């Protein structure tokens, strides 16, 4: 792994994973708590996090596509990484899996 783009992917994947978890949690809490709860009173803040999450997720998908070409991932591995990135908690595993694949490829070419 040579640094820049790979590190950016890793950091953004973690941020997207955390915001995915937050957005899902916020949705559940908004539905299950009364209208005066923090989750419902601060609905605008939750919407901002949700919007930022959406934009960052699109950036992560582009990065996965670029890294896929750079490291010669199969179509199956690439699509699986993209789909798993949509699942709360599982997205962290998908990032680790992609990072290990990049490191393994970098080690064999070095």
CA 2 to chain centre: 21
Q: Which of 28, 23, 29 is nearest to 52 (CA)?
A: 23
Give CA–CA dist 26/22, Å, rounded.
Answer: 6
- Count other Cβ atoms within 10 Å, centred on residue 57: 21
Number of folded domains in the chain? 1
Q: What is the pLDDT of residue 60?
A: 97
Give CA–CA dist 76/62, Å, rounded.
Answer: 16
pLDDT digits (tens, 9 = 90+) for 27-86: 999 999 999 999 999 999 999 999 999 999 999 999 999 999 999 999 999 999 999 999
Q: What is the pLDDT of residue 58?
A: 97
Q: What is the pTM of this model?
A: 0.88
Domain that holds residue 72: 4-109
Which tokens go with 67? Answer: 């890294």
């Amino acid at each position: 792994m040579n640094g820049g783009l790979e590190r950016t992917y890793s950091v953004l994947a973690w941020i997207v994973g955390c915001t995915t978890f937050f957005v899902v949690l916020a949705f559940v809490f908004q539905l299950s708590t009364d209208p005066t709860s923090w989750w419902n009173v601060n609905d605008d803040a939750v919407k901002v996090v949700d919007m930022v999450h959406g934009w960052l997720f699109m950036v992560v998908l582009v990065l996965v596509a670029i890294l896929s070409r750079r490291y010669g991932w199969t179509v199956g591995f690439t699509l699986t990484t993209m789909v798993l990135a949509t699942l709360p908690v599982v997205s962290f595993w998908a990032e680790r899996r992609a990072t290990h694949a990049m490191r393994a490829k970098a080690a064999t070419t070095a």
